[in-house]
Amino acid sequence: RTHKIRVLNSKAPFKSKNLSKKSRGSHPSSFERSQRTSVFFKLSLLSNMVHFFKQINNSIMLGALTSLGRSAAFSTGRSAFVANGARVNAVRSIGSTMVMNAEEGQAEVVLVGCGAPNRGMGWYHAVQMIDKKCPSASLDYVIEPWFMGAGGEGPGGADFKVWQGEAEGAGVKFATSLADLPEPSAPRLALISGRTADNPRLLTESIANGCSCIYLEKPGAPTVAELEAMATEAEAAGVEVLMGYNKNVCKYVRKTREFAETVPGSKVTFVSNNAYENTAESLGECFERNAEGMLKNMAIHELALLASFYDVNVDNIESVTADKEFSSMQTLPGPSGNDFTDFDKIKFTIKTKTGTEVSVQADRCGGTDSYAYVTDAEGNEIFRYYMPDEEDKAHVKELEAKYPTAMPYFFTQDPDYITVKERVAKHTVDGAPADGVATIGIAVDTLKVAEYLTPLLQEQLK
């Protein structure tokens, strides 16, 4: 049985609602004495609970959460969080004061799908929020069913447990399911960074568990049909879905576009590189982990740029031409032993029916830099801008020293990840426009282009 404890105003006289007017003001009846005894017992119990809480620092314990300066409290007995392997009701204590993570003006962020430390995009999102890089985002919860379940004893499981303990020390609460969450205590933002195949289900669960806005990592869903269904579901629920296409807000993209606009007849090429080892083992692991394929994974950011800024959609594409000299497609075994076919590098040019010409180049083993360049009408390169630029390289060095085993591309795009998260979190709280952030509508157009291009380019490279 759950006993609800009322916290009474110590300045106000106690009045039992169950006493008749006649009994008030006369000698207390046995019933009244029992009522007062019950209240005193509850107050004593509450006092003991507070004393107990003060002895525990940064722990997870059973109880109700009292909010300081907040409008609502978590409901008692509903949420079952995981702490150090044991399932308990979640309450966080920092020092001697019971508090909730999110403060006034912050979104209560639920990270859905953390992944492995130093490798998972979700993990890097978490690191940035724990380090308070996004003022409007408070990382309150992490949902990670794999490493807190069947994957806990496999590769990466031990590293995850270590990092989980560190994150819990910072006040983050962990669970294996969105259904374990209490009611929102602030505008709730779900940051979905799990496997692409799981995203449709995770969006449904996020909506069902109080999320008023969703930050969805690319590409959003395995297929166009699924992503369109997700968009319809979110619209019906009044939940906005914004996409993690961070390159839409990148400095190098903005600088390149601005320069190209000053040169009539110019053409832009967007170049994306990863730093995988050029070996069958490394690329096979990459192909399996990103089984949706390069155009729906690594190069999807560039396709989102084309959809956002160059009017590229399947109805407006006139021609697609692969650069066969640069491009490469391989079939390799992944860690499971199954074969996966994908591009390890690809370059192609799209011409639209409205007269635009734009190119994309992506290389899994090309290094850590992304950049864009502009050519004139004769094909001569006249402008190039890198990410990171000279101004950002010192910051990249700092991050490399801090996280020496993390994926290098995290560092080159670090400022842009922060920008997108902050704009989406602020939008969740106050409705301010999330300038430059792609909507799920853009994501649908982008995924349509990816599905359209993949078989065309595969056929050209045979």
Asked if residue 355 lies in contact with residue 253, where contact means CB atoms within 8 angstroms, the answer is no
Residues of the chain with pLDDT under 50: 1-99
Q: Strands, E, within 3-106: which ranges?
A: 80-83, 86-89, 93-94, 97-98
> Phi and psi dihedrals of 256, rounded to 5?
-65, -45
C-alpha distance from residue 98 to each of 52, 53, 65, 139 (Å): 12, 8, 7, 17
Q: How much is the pLDDT for 371? A: 95
Q: Among 191, 190, 130, which residue's Cα sits nearest to residue 165?
A: 130
Q: How much is the pLDDT for 369? A: 85
C-alpha distance from residue 386 to each of 255, 263, 393 (Å): 10, 19, 10
User: What's the rounded Cα separation, in Å, for the pair 427 and 450?
Assistant: 28
Q: How much is the pLDDT for 368? A: 84
Q: How much is the pLDDT for 32? A: 44
3-state class of 293 per DSSP?
coil
User: What's the rounded Cα separation, in Å, for the pair 336 and 333?
Assistant: 8
The tokens describing 239, both together, are: 């939940």
Q: Report the sign of the C-alpha dihedral through residues 425, 426, 427, 430, in that order.
A: positive
Q: Among 206, 210, 177, 2, which residue's Cα sits nearest to residue 79?
A: 177
Q: Among 414, 418, 405, which residue's Cα sits nearest to residue 119?
A: 405
Q: Among 139, 168, 438, 212, which residue's Cα sits nearest to residue 305?
A: 438
User: What's the rounded Cα separation, in Å, for the pair 446 and 300?
Assistant: 7
